[in-house]
């Protein structure tokens, strides 16, 4: 009988907290978690846009500072995956600098480099990767004949791509609110399982 009373007492304690109350609490905490997760993502987008704006301006120190700020933010906030960004403008500037250096007065082949730019520039309405490739292709025409003692090697495009990965969980507002959601879900599941088990015990083991 003592065991039966203990089972009934446990059953009454579980029934004090209603499942619908836990569900409402879960919805409220879930809304808070979703808000903080969204704010984390917005913070990443703002810093990613700052990197792209710095890439257009062309200040290398500012670009590095913005990249560091983006990396630090992404690594410390969940739901801040940024994908891959490409510093296209910086790549174009460095590539053009390489071509300009090859076209210098000290280079015996400089006149050929200048000719390549004169041929390619009218074909493209704006500076682009296609323009750079046209210049390199034009120069390559002279290599087999030995007319060039040097060749142009453009920077590797992969060196201008950046991708930072956000952790699955971080101890910020978003992380703790998500953890609270998981805890409430566990409470709901545990409560339902506990009610079922206690009712089964009352119907079977203590039937008499």
The structural domain count of the chain equals 2
Tens-digit pLDDT profile for residues 121-152: 777 766 677 777 787 777 767 654 444 445 66
Q: Are 64 and 125 in a shared domain?
A: no
Using the 3D structure, point to which of 127, 143, 161 is the last residue of a domain. 161
Question: What pTM does this model have?
Answer: 0.73
Rounded Cα distance between 168 and 37, Å, is 12
Whether 168 and 193 map to the same domain: the answer is yes
Asked whether residue 72 falls in the same domain as residue 95, the answer is: no
Q: Are residues 94 and 156 in the same domain?
A: yes
157 and 167 fall within a common domain = no
Considering the domain architecture, whether residues 72 and 173 belong to the same structural domain is answered as yes
Residue that the structure tokens 């500076």 belong to: 127
Q: How far apart are CA 100 and CA 142, in angstroms?
A: 18
User: Domain range holding 100?
Assistant: 88-161
Q: Return the DSSP state at 8.
A: H
DSSP letters spanning 142-183: TTTTT--SS---PPPGGGGEE-----S--SSHHHHHHHHHHH
In tens, the pLDDT along 78-94 reads 999 999 999 999 998 89
Residues ≥6 apart with Cβ < 8 Å to 38 = 79
Question: Could you read off the pLDDT tens digit of each residue along the chain, which spans 208 residues?
Answer: 445 566 556 556 655 667 788 889 899 999 999 999 999 999 999 999 999 999 999 999 999 999 999 999 999 999 999 999 999 999 988 988 877 776 655 555 556 767 777 778 777 766 677 777 787 777 767 654 444 445 667 788 899 999 999 999 999 999 999 999 999 999 888 878 877 776 776 677 655 4
Contact (CB, 8 A) for 201 and 7: yes
Are 38 and 79 part of one and the same domain? yes
> Residue 85 — left, alpha, or beta (φ > 0 → left; ψ -120 to 50 → alpha)?
beta
Same domain, 154 and 101: yes
User: 77 with 121, same domain?
Assistant: no
Task: Report the alpha-carbon angle 46-52-58, nearest 5.
Answer: 135
């Amino acid at each position: 009988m003592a065991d039966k009373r203990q089972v009934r007492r446990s059953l009454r304690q579980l029934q004090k907290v209603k499942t619908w109350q836990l569900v409402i609490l879960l919805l409220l905490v879930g809304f808070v978690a979703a808000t903080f997760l969204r704010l984390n993502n917005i913070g990443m987008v703002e810093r990613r846009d700052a990197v792209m704006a710095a890439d257009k301006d062309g200040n290398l120190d500012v670009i590095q500072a913005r990249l560091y700020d983006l990396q630090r933010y992404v690594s410390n906030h969940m739901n801040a995956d940024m994908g891959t960004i490409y510093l296209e403008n910086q790549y174009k500037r460095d590539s053009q600098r390489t071509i300009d250096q090859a076209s210098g007065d000290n280079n015996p082949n400089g006149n050929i480099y200048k000719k390549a730019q004169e041929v390619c520039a009218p074909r493209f309405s704006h500076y682009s990767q296609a323009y750079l490739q046209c210049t390199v292709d034009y120069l390559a025409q002279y290599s087999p004949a030995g007319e060039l003692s040097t060749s142009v090697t453009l920077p590797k495009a992969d060196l201008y791509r950046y991708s930072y990965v956000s952790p699955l969980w971080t101890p910020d507002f978003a992380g703790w609110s998500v953890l609270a959601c998981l805890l409430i879900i566990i409470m709901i599941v545990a409560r339902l399982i506990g009610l079922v088990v206690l009712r089964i015990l009352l119907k079977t083991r203590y039937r008499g």
